[in-house]
């Protein structure tokens, strides 16, 4: 779960809701994979693209589903009371939050880390906005903490 959050920038509720088909059947004509997020914040749907900088996320999810024997349904599921079998329903988002807090992190820390790494690797602001599901690039810039280049905004000023 942590890998999907830091590698694809998903929210806790989105990680809890992703299904096998959302991950393994979301491919464009060029063969590029993504994670389909349905009915996210503000009831929007989007695809978080798994390109060169974060292609490892797909491998991590593939290893998990093979280990857990998952071929359909939700990717992340709770265990039964004896911790021997995965239950066929999605995991509670609160469970994910508590697991992250046990590591001393806030849930959005992983999402912000994804955003900063993606931006540093050269992902365009518009593409990063789409991957994060923001409605505005300005929101994404505030989120990442973009260093403003004032010299381009004010002609003939040297800063």
| Average pLDDT, consecutive stretches of 10 residues, N- to C-terminus, the chain (159 residues) | 89 91 91 87 85 86 92 88 76 88 87 86 87 87 68 49
Residue whose entry in the numeric block shows the structure tokens 């299904």: 19
Its CATH architecture, for the domain 2-79+87-146, is: Orthogonal Bundle (1.10)
How confident is the model at residue 150, as a pLDDT? 47
CA R_g for the chain:
18
- Model-level pTM greater than 0.85? no
pLDDT at 85: 75
List alpha helices for the chain, DSSP H.
2-8, 12-17, 20-24, 56-68, 93-102, 107-120, 125-132, 137-144, 150-153
Q: What pLDDT was estimated at residue 65? A: 93
**Other CB atoms within 10 Å distance of the CB of residue 39:** 11
Q: Tokens for 11?
A: 């929210």
Q: What is the dihedral of CA 85, 88, 92, 97, to 10 degrees?
A: 50
Where exactly are the structural domains of the chain?
A: 2-79+87-146
């Amino acid at each position: 779960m942590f890998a999907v959050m830091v590698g694809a920038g998903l929210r806790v509720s989105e990680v809890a809701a992703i299904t096998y088909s959302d991950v393994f059947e979301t491919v464009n004509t060029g063969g590029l994979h993504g994670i389909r997020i349905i009915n996210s914040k503000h009831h929007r749907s989007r695809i978080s693209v798994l390109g060169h900088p974060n292609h490892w996320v797909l491998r991590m999810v593939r290893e998990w589903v093979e280990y857990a024997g998952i071929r359909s349904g939700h990717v992340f599921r709770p265990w039964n009371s004896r911790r021997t079998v995965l239950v066929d329903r999605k995991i509670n988002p609160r469970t994910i939050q508590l697991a992250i807090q046990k590591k001393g992190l806030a849930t959005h820390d992983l999402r912000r880390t994804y955003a900063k790494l993606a931006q540093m690797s050269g992902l365009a602001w518009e593409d990063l906005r789409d991957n994060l599901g923001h409605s505005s690039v300005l929101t994404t810039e505030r989120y990442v903490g973009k260093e403003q280049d004032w010299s381009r905004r004010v002609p003939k000023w040297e800063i």
